[in-house]
Structure 1
Amino acid sequence: MDKTALLIIDVQYDFLPPSGSLAVPNGQDILPVINDLLDENKYDWPVIVASQDYHPRGHISFASTHPPHKPFEPLLVRDARGTTYQQTLWPDHCIQGTRGTEIEENIKRKLGQWGRKVRLARKGTHMKLEAYSAFDGDAYPGEQKLPSEGPLSTYLRKRGIEKVVIVGLATDFCVLQTALSAISASFDTLILGPAVRGISPEDTDKALVKIRNLGGKVIDQDEIDWETGLNRWFDL
């Protein structure tokens, strides 16, 4: 596993039922699996990346930024790069300084036990830029930004990483885009099915098909022997 990194995508309170402002249906079901993956007695990840939506108020993706439009409506917007695209508008979520932006407490506690092996990637920090992929985030070890180390893909390469295991929320948005970024950067990419959940069942199925078609691997629930564990799926 010395060449395999675990990427934990957006396991934050605003994406978790029952009270998250943009709760992913059944999102809480992935927590036991991710907790198991963070058990130091079972696994020895050389690198763990936890991504975090970290929006300023008035973010370009918020419906409240574009009155009178409502959450989940599509809207053509122009971002800070001058790109015009169709944005799905969201309820306000993961606003800096709110509980909703925090990583779920048990996951956060377990991450703390891994020390300097953990890297935090905050994304969506620019008011006028959308960012779904963890590879689009600013990378922090803990809370200290290291701009000299470059993007997440560069950091992973420096650490000798060749394969990424992706878990988290939501399959049809941030998990999908993180997987596409990883595949584009030539990392072997594995999605652990029991540890991801999506917003729309139809779009989740499409996302997993797309990942498979582009060369990623998706491990389904029925492919796992929970008695023998998950390690065999992570070996290069």
Structure 2
Amino acid sequence: MNNNRALIIVDYSNDFVAPDGALTCGKPGREIEQFIVNRIEEYNNSQDDIFFTMDLHYEEDTAHPENDLFPPHNIIGTSGRELYGRVNDIYQRIQYNDFVHFLDKTRYDSFSGTPLDLMLRERNIKDIEIVGVCTDICVLHTAVSAYNLNYNLTIPKRGVASFDENGHQWALNHFRNSLGAAVEQ
């Protein structure tokens, strides 16, 4: 029942959200969990496409540019890379639906080096909603690419979080004022 829309959940992993995560955004990340679960349920019930995009790193990968910026995180094969909490629970339940997709990404941007744009276009999807973490890093870079690829954007304020409140607020304004995104309250 594709309504030409998709939900993209960015990096909602244990390392980015759990209290003991390697690069956690802390309480703000956990506070958006129920909102994300509700959005997944709505898209699942309407059989609209759902994309889980997940940061992927390898242990001792000295060539990755993030190594100089952040501690090791989302290492393949670790529990830190698993989806967090109830988002993981719902993913386990719906993952075999043909409209649910899981894409690994090795850069902030969910489009960079992934088949995301091709998959959206194959499905005639024009409207995307982005939720997840971190607002001012991976969500931001994904949103900029989506804008440059001419997608209509919704980025719910209650569905994104960051460890940097100033960066979070700046990104929300950027989504609205520079990308023309609907930033619902």
TM-score by length of 1: 0.70
Identical positions, percent: 31
Separation in 2, partners of 1:36, 1:201: 24
Higher relative contact order (CA 8 A, sep 6+): 2
User: Gaps (5+ residues) in structure 2?
Assistant: none
- CA gap of 1:101–1:137, structure 2 versus 1, over 3 A, is farther
Separation in 2, partners of 1:92, 1:41: 33
User: Gaps (5+ residues) in structure 1?
Assistant: 64-88, 125-130, 139-150, 221-236
> Highest Rg: 1 or 2?
1
| SS of residue matched to 1:211 | helix
Which has a greater percent of helix?
2
Separation in 2, partners of 1:137, 1:24: 25
Separation in 1, partners of 2:43, 2:150: 30
Please say if 1:173 is aligned against 2:137: yes
Which has a greater percent of strand?
1
1:58 aligns with one of 52, 57, 60: 60
Shift of the alpha carbon at 1:3?
A: 0.9
1:198 aligns with one of 162, 167, 171: 162
| SS of residue matched to 2:98 | helix
Please say if 1:102 is aligned against 2:104: no
| SS of residue matched to 2:129 | strand
How many corresponding residue pairs? Answer: 177
Separation in 1, partners of 2:105, 2:39: 23
Shift of the alpha carbon at 1:199?
A: 2.1
Shift of the alpha carbon at 1:43?
A: 4.3
Separation in 1, partners of 2:47, 2:146: 17
* Amino acid corresponding to residue 180 of structure 2 in structure 1: G
- CA gap of 1:41–1:205, structure 2 versus 1, over 3 A, is closer
| 8 A Cα contact 1:172 1:198, kept in partner | yes
The match for 2:36 is: 34
The match for 2:94 is: 113
- CA gap of 1:42–1:132, structure 2 versus 1, over 3 A, is closer
- CA gap of 1:166–1:37, structure 2 versus 1, over 3 A, is same
1:189 aligns with one of 150, 153, 176: 153
* Amino acid corresponding to residue 67 of structure 2 in structure 1: F
1:134 aligns with one of 101, 110, 113: 110
Separation in 1, partners of 2:86, 2:162: 21
| 8 A Cα contact 1:170 1:199, kept in partner | yes
